[in-house]
């Protein structure tokens, strides 16, 4: 009995550790999740010119959002992270049927959310394979931590990413383009934590948003983060134009600090340091483009520290951990 409980606890720790490392890979990817203000200079303008789906001032450029979703697709749904639940590792045998049922209006709001995230992962499958090749040829510190924690080599990550990419070929462009429809149904039906991915999709695809709906989505997305949802915290960490996401720079800094410390609590000091270094490099790059606000004042930093502590406590409660 004790052995079984220990085994289950170990599996849970490994699943959560994998989810944390996936978040760390988003940090290593840097620009994937880097939002930019409309007047950003240099490479940011080049990116805007080459990608017509990017919304000036949007929290997440569209193609980068899809790539990030593909990264999350290789992680199992872990305790403590319920926003935008990614598909389980591997490929569900009935994935096409489940997505089609959702598109036909059959299923629960949760089914709609899961179908939307499957399409999101598939839209980023090519970028995920490219990222894994870069990790093999020029491994990052977070990539090395990924191998350490999961026991999977870079070549195995490439193989799994290519398998996922191949399976995604069952979805044609018209099906992939209906992700927003599924997210709307999920949110309107009350799917837990649907607000953040729906808001991202609306912003990235230049959709007109009723001000009342925008405010509602922003409030719900902030609540998801402040409830200690790890993936929501990662997403907000990269909202370098925080106003588009309905948060302040104080909140962004708090969410960033919370998710970095959570990584340390789950995966150890080495992962936390690697992620902090990757985040610092990304912020330096964004600062060169004028896309990072000025440093917080002393008073603002105290506010951020207090909020980060509350978020970490909320995360602990989600895990059933003592404070």
In the chain, where the domains are located: 31-319
Q: Under 8 Å CB-to-CB from 84, ≥6 apart: which residues?
A: 69, 72, 113, 117, 120, 193, 194, 196, 197, 231
Are residues 91 and 167 in contact, defined by beta-carbon separation less than 8 angstroms?
Answer: yes
Closest CA to 60 of 203, 256, 218: 203
Percentage of the chain lying above the pLDDT 90 cut: 39
Three-point CA angle 192, 193, 199, nearest 5°: 135
Query: Does 10 have pLDDT greater than 60?
Result: no
Mean pLDDT of 67-94: 42
Least confident of 1-15, 94-108, 202-216: 1-15
CB 184 within 8 A of CB 34: no
Position 323 scores a pLDDT of 55
Name the more confident of 143 and 137. Answer: 137
Is pLDDT of 183 > 70? yes
Q: What is the dihedral angle through the alpha carbons of 246, 252, 117, 131, rounded to the nearest 10 degrees?
A: 140
294-305: burial string, b at 16+ Cβ within 10 Å, e else = eebeeeeeebbe
> Which residue is listed with tokens 């609540």?
223
Q: Which of 243, 235, 237, 236 has the alpha carbon at shortest distance from 276? A: 237
Highest mean pLDDT, choosing among 115-124, 213-222, 229-238? 213-222
Q: What per-residue confidence (pLDDT) applies to 140?
A: 84
Residue 275 banded pLDDT, cuts 50, 70, 90: confident
pLDDT tens figures, 25-53: 444 343 333 333 333 333 333 222 222 23
pLDDT confidence band for 1 (50 / 70 / 90): low
């Amino acid at each position: 009995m004790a052995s079984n409980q220990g085994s289950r606890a170990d599996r849970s720790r490994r699943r959560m550790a994998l989810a944390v490392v996936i978040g760390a890979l988003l940090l290593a990817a840097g620009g994937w999740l880097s939002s930019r203000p409309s007047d950003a200079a240099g490479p940011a303008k080049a990116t805007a010119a080459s990608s017509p789906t990017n919304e000036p001032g949007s929290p997440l450029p569209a193609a980068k959002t899809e790539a990030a979703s593909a990264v999350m697709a290789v992680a199992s749904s872990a305790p403590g992270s319920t926003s935008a639940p990614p598909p389980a590792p591997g490929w569900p045998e009935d994935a096409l049927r489940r997505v089609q049922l959702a598109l036909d209006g059959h299923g629960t709001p949760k089914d709609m959310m899961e179908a939307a995230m499957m399409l999101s992962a598939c839209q980023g499958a090519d970028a995920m394979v490219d990222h894994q090749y870069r990790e093999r040829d020029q491994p990052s510190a977070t990539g090395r931590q990924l191998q350490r924690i999961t026991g999977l080599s870079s070549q195995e990550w490439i193989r799994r990413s290519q398998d996922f990419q191949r399976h995604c070929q069952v979805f044609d462009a018209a099906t992939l383009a209906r992700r927003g429809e599924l997210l709307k149904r999920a949110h309107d039906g009350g799917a837990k934590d649907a607000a953040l991915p729906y808001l991202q999709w609306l912003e990235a695809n230049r959709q007109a948003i009723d001000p009342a709906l925008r405010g509602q989505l922003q409030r719900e997305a902030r609540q998801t983060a402040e409830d200690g949802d790890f993936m929501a915290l990662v997403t907000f960490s990269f909202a370098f134009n925080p106003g588009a996401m309905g948060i302040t720079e104080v909140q962004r800094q708090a969410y960033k600090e919370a998710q970095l410390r959570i990584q340390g609590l789950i995966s150890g000091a080495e992962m936390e340091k690697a992620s902090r270094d990757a985040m610092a490099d990304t912020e330096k790059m964004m600062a060169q483009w004028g896309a990072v606000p000025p440093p917080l004042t002393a008073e603002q930093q105290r506010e951020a520290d207090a909020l980060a502590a509350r978020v970490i406590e909320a995360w602990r409660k989600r895990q059933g951990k003592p404070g």
